[in-house]
Amino acid sequence: MADERLREEHVADPIDARTFRHVLGQFCTGITIITTVHDDEPVGFACQSFAALSLDPPLVLFCPTKQSRSWQAIEASGKFCVNVLHENQKDVSARFGSREPDKFGGVDWSPSHLGSPVLAGTLAHIDCTVASVHDGGDHFVVFGAVHAMSEPPKTKPRPLLFYRGEYTGIEPDKTTPAQWRDDLDAFLTATTADTWL
């Protein structure tokens, strides 16, 4: 009986959706546009839930809602391109995050190696096929196998970021090198106990 009471005391209260969004909003994210072509039409949506997953084999992931029509098009095509937005592309983010029926209207793009739209002016693009799909509550977790990507920029451009429900950016005079890693390659391949990925 005592064990049962102890278990009941440790059961967490239900998580309030608004509080959940507020707390998770403290985590700053980049903004991507995930694109594909389906039935000869370009399709895309704004996505914050994107991440590097594996270096060997090269995999990335993103998380669309289960009701997403864009995801249905990506699933049907079996391929997608991740477009990483530049800080000056707030209008692109807003357009692809809206219910606008013609999201590509007035947006310059060209086909990737696999045929998915690469948006003009982005910081980077990653061309993928759908490797696997996993249940994630009200979202899917999609693993993408990377087939091609853009060259790293020669300058140090700044990404479009989202923080606490607002767009934000990197202040040039407040950036400092991360002392715990020499470069991105070490970051992705490290397997120590403190590895972030």
Q: What is the pLDDT of residues 41-56, one digit of tens each?
A: 999 999 999 999 999 9
Q: What is the pLDDT of residues 73-129, one digit of tens each?
A: 999 999 999 999 999 999 999 999 998 889 999 999 999 999 999 999 999 999 999
* Euclidean distance between CA atoms 157 and 85, whole angstroms: 10
Domain count of the chain?
1
Provide φ and ψ at 45, rounded to 5°: -150, 155
7 is a domain residue: no
- Residues 6 or more apart whose CB falls under 8 angstroms from that of 57 comprise 145
pTM of the full structure: 0.81
**In terms of C-beta density within 10 A (0-12 exposed, 13-18 middle, 19 or more buried), how is residue 9 classed?**
exposed
**Neighbouring-strand partners of residue 46:** 33
Q: Is the pLDDT of residue 195 over 50?
A: no
Domain span at residue 139 reads 29-169+177-189
pLDDT band at 154 (very low <50, low <70, confident <90, very high): confident
Instruction: For 20-46, give the secondary structure using H, E and C.
Output: HHHHHCCCCEECEEEEEEECCEEEEEE
96 is a domain residue: yes
131 is a domain residue: yes
